[in-house]
Copies of this chain bind each other. A is one copy, B any other.
Amino acid sequence: MPIDSFSAGKIYRTSLSNEVVKEIRKMILTGTIKPGQRINEVHLARDLQVSRGPVREALLMLKNEGLVTHEVNRGATVSILSARDAYEIYTFRAMLEVNAIEMGLENLQDEHLQALSHLLERFAQSVQEANAEELIACDIEFHKVIVGLSKHSRLIQAHSQMDSQVGAMFLTIANELPKRVNRVVEIHQILYDALASRDKEKIIQELNMHYLSTLKELESKLKEAHG
């Protein structure tokens, strides 16, 4: 049962495995399957009306996103992200973004600032609509623009490899988004201003601030959730 994805009239060919990846990723990020839960290939395949081959390939890809862990002869389980993981994810992303700025700030064009500005509007709107999914997408997109300035594909790839895990972190605290959410927009506004100033030291300082505060807010939640 091969699948074609349609988008604006143009046909993009994709494999079932890739579609299954999206499906499972969504299940994990929306909490349909929960951290620590084992993933049954047969059941999942049947639910998705697909055979086990694509499911296995999809699980391998999700393993590389860090959403899933794997043991031989025991299969895949949804990753549990600890406070330590949160620390690693955010410090590493901060590190990558700081280095991206250091090596590529001169690539910052007005178009980038426009794109970021537009993202801030989407941010604000998704807050009003209490649309967590959209909020996360904006956050990820925002930081993707920053690392993109480096034009360093391996740096960019290492960064985006953690996108899903960032999404999963958000999920962990999703129940109390409303209170925190306004600060997120504020914080990104500050980052935007720093970028617009094109002052390298300032940007780097704000980046570190940004992630430090994000981490602070997250860690207490995570510790009470599961060590």
Consensus secondary structure, chain A interface: helix
Chain A residues touching B, range: 20 to 34
Tell me the minimal C-beta distance from A105 to chain B in angstroms.
16
A61 within 8 A of B: yes
A23 within 8 A of B: no
Counted per complex, copies of this chain come to 2
From 146 to 166 in chain A, residues with beta carbon under 8 angstroms from any chain B beta carbon are: 152-155, 158, 161-162
In the complex, the chain B residue whose C-beta lies closest to that of A60 is B60
A73 within 8 A of B: yes
Q: How far is the CA of A174 from the CA of B64 in the complex (A)?
A: 31
Tell me the minimal C-beta distance from A74 to chain B in angstroms.
10
Q: Assuming the A-B contacts A60-B60, A61-B60, are A154 and B13 also in contact, with contact meaning beta carbons closer than 8 angstroms in the complex?
A: no
Picked from B53, B153, B162, the residue with its CB within 8 Å of the CB of A154 is B162
Point out the residues of chain B lying under 8 angstroms from A91, CB to CB: 103, 152
A89 within 8 A of B: yes
Point out the residues of chain B lying under 8 angstroms from A73, CB to CB: 13, 15
Q: Assuming the A-B contacts A57-B57, A88-B153, A99-B95, are A72 and B13 also in contact, with contact meaning beta carbons closer than 8 angstroms in the complex?
A: yes
In the complex, the chain B residue whose C-beta lies closest to that of A66 is B154
A122 within 8 A of B: no
Point out the residues of chain B lying under 8 angstroms from A60, CB to CB: 57, 60-61
A92 within 8 A of B: yes
In the complex, the chain B residue whose C-beta lies closest to that of A64 is B64
A112 within 8 A of B: no
Point out the residues of chain B lying under 8 angstroms from A57, CB to CB: 56-57, 60
A14 within 8 A of B: yes
Point out the residues of chain B lying under 8 angstroms from A88, CB to CB: 152-155
Mark A residues whose CB is within 8 Å of B: 13-15, 18, 53, 56-57, 60-61, 64, 72-73, 88-89, 91-92, 95, 99, 103, 152-155, 158, 161-162
Closest 3 CB pairs of A and B: A158-B158, A88-B154, A92-B154
